[in-house]
Amino acid sequence: MSSDDDSDQAIDAGGILYHERLTRTLSRIFQVNRVLYAGRTKYQRIEVVDTPDFGKMLILDGKVQFSLRDEFIYHESLVHPVMFTHPSPEEVLIIGGGDGGALKEVLKHNIVKNVTLVDLDEEVMDIVKKYVPEMFKDSLKDPRVKILNMDGRKFLAETKNKYDIIIIDVTDPFGPSTLLYTKEFYQLVNNALKDGGAMVTHSEGMYSSRKEFVTIYKTIETVFRNTRAYGAFIPSFGDAWTFTIASNTLDPANMDVKVIEKRMKERHVETQFYYPEMHKVLFTLPKDLLKDLKEMKVTISTDKSPVQMPA
């Protein structure tokens, strides 16, 4: 029976509906064909579901983390702008990213020598490997990869290693994750970067979480000389999603398309969404957003008063 037949049958029978709360006052409901897994790890609630519109989806604490239908938009947008901005990203650190998507994209760059992925929740990784093996593919067999299941902030505080690129792909700022969005955390990130290095983090929805995005951006801006925001619409997230790159030397917004094109060919990187001309598009932000980045009054996120998504 085809997936279309499955979805039609689910509609006829009433079906299973998943409720995701985007904000305190805004929700969405999507249909589920099958629940592949539902349970709790030591740290969070987890569901893996198969849907007619987005295929397999990973949901943590009621928030969609990826769908197979469009994960490439999110992960390519997170990884490639910062990787191609750097002339030689050999040492890469991923904080979070336990679903394997960011790792898969980083490994496309043949110039990379070592990737360390630090994710707190080993159970999430095991569940994704079992139920959505398409995400990791063969990346965990790559000799360049080292996996550590521990707190990412603790790792940064203790490591003596330095990295060309640090990618932060953690859950939204609520609960313990709020301390991965503070000035003190970004200072640890800065300390762990090599001279000429850069970091990138996802920074929430452009419209549904505008204040939280501006707060994250302005917090990072207090630590790094160059801070640049960009965004891409992610259908399964229901919003244009933002990302923020920061560096003390590099500026991704001023990258020449020809340079990106050359690096892409040299590194043999193949993509579905990102390409050299798209780089400039990603950094072209709506006028109202630019205004808010300059004028919106927010409180810098600190350990004592971290940015937090509304409950």
Measured CA angle at 172 (ends 195, 78), to 5 deg: 45
What is the SS3 string spanning the chain? CCHHHHHHHHHHCCCEEEEEECCCCCEEEEEECEEEEEEECCCCEEEEEEECCCEEEEEECCEEEEECCCHHHHHHHHHHHHHHHCCCCCEEEEEECCCCHHHHHHCCCCCCCEEEEECCCHHHHHHHHHHCCCCCCCHHHCCCEEEECCCHHHHHHHCCCCEEEEEEECCCCCHHHHHHCCHHHHHHHHHCEEEEEEEEEEEEECCCCHHHHHHHHHHHHCCCCEEEEEEEEEHHHCEEEEEEEEECCCCHHHCCHHHHHHHHHHHCCCCCCCCHHHHHHHCCCCHHHHHHHHHCCCCCCCCCCCCCCCC
| Token pair of 257 as six digits | 């398309």
- Write down the catalytic residue from 121, 169, 172, 292: 169
Q: Is 4 annotated as catalytic?
A: no
Count the neighbouring beta carbons within 10 Å of the beta carbon of residue 88.
12
- Which residue, among 31, 34, 21, has the nearest Cα to 53 in the 3D structure? 31
Centre a 10 Å sphere on the Cβ of residue 235 and count the other Cβ atoms it contains.
12
Catalytically annotated residues: 169
